[in-house]
Amino acid sequence: MILKNGFRYVFVFLLGAVIYNLVEVIFRGYTHWSMGVLGGVCFVAVGLLNEIQQRPPIILQMAQGAVICTVLELLAGLVLNVWLGLDIWDYSGVPGNIMGQVCPQFTLAWAALSAVAVWVEDRLHKIFD
């Protein structure tokens, strides 16, 4: 059981990493390897929402996922862009941004991607269980 769950989480992480990097390449034209790590962590975290709650409505999971991913993006941005100076992204020109690392528009995108993560994780439960 532990091995099965571990494999599922690794699979969800890798799937999230690939999906997020593809989304970035499609919409931005390029990506950075660290965005794959962030996408994988976000996919796993959002996927766990169903496991720590008793199947909340999808809209609630999307809102929770948007908050989780926005906070993780802010933390990653503070480390990667501000502290390490890698300048991977900069939202300073976008209205409502926080320190150029997150903005409301991308919080909405995280909500949509959270719905995908919840759906994928639900399907994987059926496959692995």
Tell me how many degrees the CA angle 94-97-103 measures, rounded to the nearest 5. 85
Largest CA distance in the chain: 48
pLDDT score of 103: 95
Mean of pLDDT over the chain: 91
**Cα angle 107-123-53, degrees, rounded to a multiple of 5:** 60
Phi/psi for 32 (5° steps) reads: -135, 145
pTM higher than 0.85: yes
Nearest to 27 by CA among 89, 95, 92: 89
pLDDT digits (tens, 9 = 90+) for 55-109: 889 999 999 999 999 999 999 999 999 999 999 999 999 999 999 999 999 999 9
